[in-house]
Amino acid sequence: MRSGIIARKLGMTRIYTEEGAVVPVTVLKVDNVHVVAHKTADKHGYTAVQLGSGTPKVKRLTKADRGQFVAAKVEPKRKLQEFRVSVDAVMPVGAEVTADHFVAGQFVDVTGTTKGKGFQGGIKRWNFGGLRATHGVSVSHRSIGSTGNRQDPGKVFKNKKMPGHMGSETVTTQNVVVVRTDKERGLILLKGSVPGSQGGWVSVSDAVKRKLPDAAPKPGAFTAAAAAPAQG
């Protein structure tokens, strides 16, 4: 099981295949994604790698956070995320994960935070049909109608679909196809849409319901950290 990767959603565009077909794609930016720390089974009870991306304001970092980045010999990161991996898929601390971590044609799972919609009614939130346009219905055409029963049981059941807060949820879209990757520019092009707003963070991992292609690099595509110059 390989590590995933952290990326930022730049937006959507389209590309053309050699046959001239139009393919809508979501463009993800992989920028300075480094391995910050390891989690081991002996010390933490599981095996994982912690990745970091983005550039934060250093004055907002705590002393403990600064010490963590100093120990890893990487610049401070704005976004940190763990990915559970198998023992043979651990990348070294300080390594920079590149966009060719995934290959064209591979299926991936993308997790992101959906756009916040605020408080919405039942029609927009749950796709209710609303009430009739006439025949006694006045003013309340977009209401959700009855929410309960008569005297028995005389209550509204839990989890009833009603108006409320919509969006701002963590959602995973499975089996998204990787159309193309660009290592030099740090771009990953995925077919179709993925959750999240423009500029938002997403995590991309190997699809759990599909077989990993043989061409996928193991334990991953990364550039090892440069060795420190010798003293003396």
- Domain membership of residue 79 (yes or no) is yes
- Are 103 and 181 in contact, with CB atoms under 8 Å apart? yes
Give the CATH number for residue 181: 3.30.160.810
Nearest to 49 by CA among 9, 86, 11, 15: 86
Question: Residue 77 has what pLDDT?
Answer: 86
With vertex at residue 196, the alpha carbon angle to CA 53 and CA 99, rounded to the nearest 5 degrees, is 40
- Are 39 and 148 within one domain? no
Supply φ then ψ for residue 51, to 5 degrees.
-105, 150
Q: How many domains does the chain have?
A: 2
Supply φ then ψ for residue 72, to 5 degrees.
-85, -10
- Are 56 and 156 within one domain? no
Q: Rounded CA gap, 106 and 204, in Å? A: 12
- Domain membership of residue 228 (yes or no) is no
- Are 50 and 159 within one domain? no
DSSP 110-123: EEEEPPP-EEE-HH
Per-residue pLDDT tens for 122-135?
Answer: 999 999 999 999 99
Per-residue pLDDT tens for 82-120?
Answer: 999 998 888 888 888 999 999 999 999 999 999 999 999
**What residue numbers bound the domain in which 123 lies?**
118-166
- Both tokens assigned to 170: 């963590």
- Are 56 and 41 within one domain? yes
- Are 46 and 95 within one domain? yes
Structure confidence at residue 228 as a pLDDT band (50, 70, 90): very low
- Are 17 and 59 within one domain? yes
- Domain membership of residue 229 (yes or no) is no
Q: Rounded CA gap, 195 and 174, in Å? A: 11
Question: Residue 226 has what pLDDT?
Answer: 61
- Are 143 and 185 within one domain? no
Altogether, the residues listed in the chain come to a count of: 232
**Residue 227 pLDDT > 80, yes or no?**
no
- Domain membership of residue 230 (yes or no) is no
